[in-house]
Every structure is written in structure tokens, then in C-alpha cells.
Structure 1
Amino acid sequence: MSRPLFGGALSAVFPSSAMDISELRQIPDNQEVFAHSQTDQSIIIELLEYQSQVQDAEAARYHFEDVAGSNKAIENGTWEVRVVKQVPQSEISMQECSSAWLLSGAQLVSKFNEEAKNTVNVHQCLFRLPQFTTDILMMFNDPVFINPLSSSAAGNMEAIPWTQQDFQGVLQSLRLLDSGVFG
């Protein structure tokens, strides 16, 4: 079932185990955050300013590095980009974008600024919409190692985690319904 995003301006289909985090805590107006109901996985959709100074694949890297900086992974040198590739227009519903870029990487990050660091695979799709001066960044955070001292260590080991195919389903289903969301 398709979920409305940003007040119904966009929509996407999420796995059934996705919880809307805005029902639990305050989320910035430019973000939609969904978490797996039993694991530490999350999918975040963010409306960002279009970065005209970087072209397509480099824009995907730019946003990944910006997130790594926010996660303090940059200062520790604990991040890497593994793959950046263009997503064919035929594989997405967001026809308004000039291009879409898939990036896979990893970051060593702590939750809630804890000392304990977790290894998180980060898969992101960057939808470029220069006509709206907007980049839409969709991120799938997939922890692959949880430090035993992390607050995330108490997760449900029996839970069925999301896969890259689940993330692909979300990014392929993302639709723009009202361009007024871009101002």
C-alpha cells in the first residue's frame, strides 16, 4: 500500500514492518523517517537543496559525505563509498527527475553520540530535480555489526530484516503528486 509523504505531495510503497517515526518523535519538515519495527534499520527520505556545483554521480557522493559528516564518520575516517551507478529511468516512477543515482557505502557510526560504534551499510538513491532546485535523497541504513555496548545491541535477533530488494521497491515506487511541495 502506498504511503503519503510530505503531506501527500509524494508517495511510496514501504515494507509492512515500516513504522513512521514522526508518530514517536519530532522529525524535520524536510524529512520522512521510517524504521523497521524490530531491527535497527531505517529508510529516510529527505528534500534537499539542489547542488548545482556537482554533477550527478558526484552529487550522490556529495550527499553521502554530508551525511557521513553529520554522523561524525568523516572526522574518524570511518566511511567508504563502494559503488555509484545511474538508475535507468525505466526502473523508477519519479519521471520528473533528470537523473537518479544509486550509491552503496558504509559508515562506522554511533547512535545517540554513544562511544560504541556500529558498522552500517548505507544505500542511497539521489533523485535530481533541477527544475525545482531540489535533490531528493532516499537512504536505507542497514546495520551489519552492532557493538555489544551500543544501545542498539538489544535488538530482536529473530526479526526478518529488510533487504536491498525492499529498498529497491521503495525507491522504484516513489512518486511526485504535487510539485507545490518544492515551494
Structure 2
Amino acid sequence: MTDWIKAFNPGSPITTEAEAESAARASAVAMFIGALVGVVSLAWAVANPAELQAAVDAASAANPAGAASAAASVQIGLWTAGGFAALQLILGVVQWRNPGKMLAILFMVLVIFGIVSTAATPLIASAMPNIPATPIWQIALSLIVMVVQLILLIAGLRGIGRLDRLQMESAR
């Protein structure tokens, strides 16, 4: 357990190839966390259809003709969320087996975008009073999870870089 804590720490020194590989896999753990959050969010949405219906009602209040479109958008959103959770899981497995910089950098950019957009949610909600507001506890929890993912991705990138250098040195 202490080996994993050391591997997940972006500031810990990496001296061996095994330590570098463990640190590189931290980026895969960040992807697994994203997949888990996606599945939990999807399950929450499916288990609470009243909240989904309230969102559809709020969206169609301003435009009654768009009610069918709003209901279809909810279904498309649920399927898309499930697809993204599955994609994150698959990419996490790929990253676990063969840690690479491209996936780690891609997910780092996505997590940073998620942090910025989640932090802006209260401002957007205050500008649009007719839309249902996201509870502040949900925003805070999302930000905490994304910061943990960002730390793991940074540790993973450090591990990937060190693993590449160690493998190049041993090949010489």
C-alpha cells in the first residue's frame, strides 16, 4: 500500500523502473476513477427519473413545442454518458497495460476543462434562473474528484517520462 501511495505522489523521487512503472500507472487509475464517476452518475440519473423529468419540464417551459426534443435529449445524454464511461474504462485498461503520454495528456486536458467548467457552474446558473440548479455539494464533490484525478495524471506523466528515460539508459 505504501508503494502505491509513493507512486501516486507527484513529488516523490523515482529511482527504479518498478517505481516508474507504478507511477506511470497512476494515470490509468485516474481514468478508472473517471469511469467509476460516470457509472455512478448514470446510475443516479436512472434511479431518479423525477429529477430528469423536472429538467425536461424546465427546458420545455419556455418552448412547449420543444418538449419532445428535450425528452429525446435526455435519452441521448444518458446513452452518451454510458458510452463515455465505457470508453474511459477501455482507455484506462490500455493505459494500465502500456502507459503512454498521449492518453495521459489528453485526459489531463479534459480534467482541466472539467474543473474550469464545473467551477463556472454557479455563475452560469445565476445567469439563467429558469434552469434547475446543481447542488453546491455536488459541485464541490466533482471538483475534489477532478483535482485527485489531476494529481494522479501528473504523477502518471512523471512516471511515464522517468520510465522512458530508464528504459533508454538500460538499452544503451
- With structure 2 as the length reference, what TM-score do the two structures score? 0.27
Q: Which structure has more helix as a fraction of its residues?
A: 2
TM norm structure 1:
0.26
Higher strand share: 1
Please identify the structure whose Cα radius of gyration is greater.
Answer: 2
- The one of the two structures with greater contact order (alpha-carbon pairs below 8 A, sep at least 6) is 2
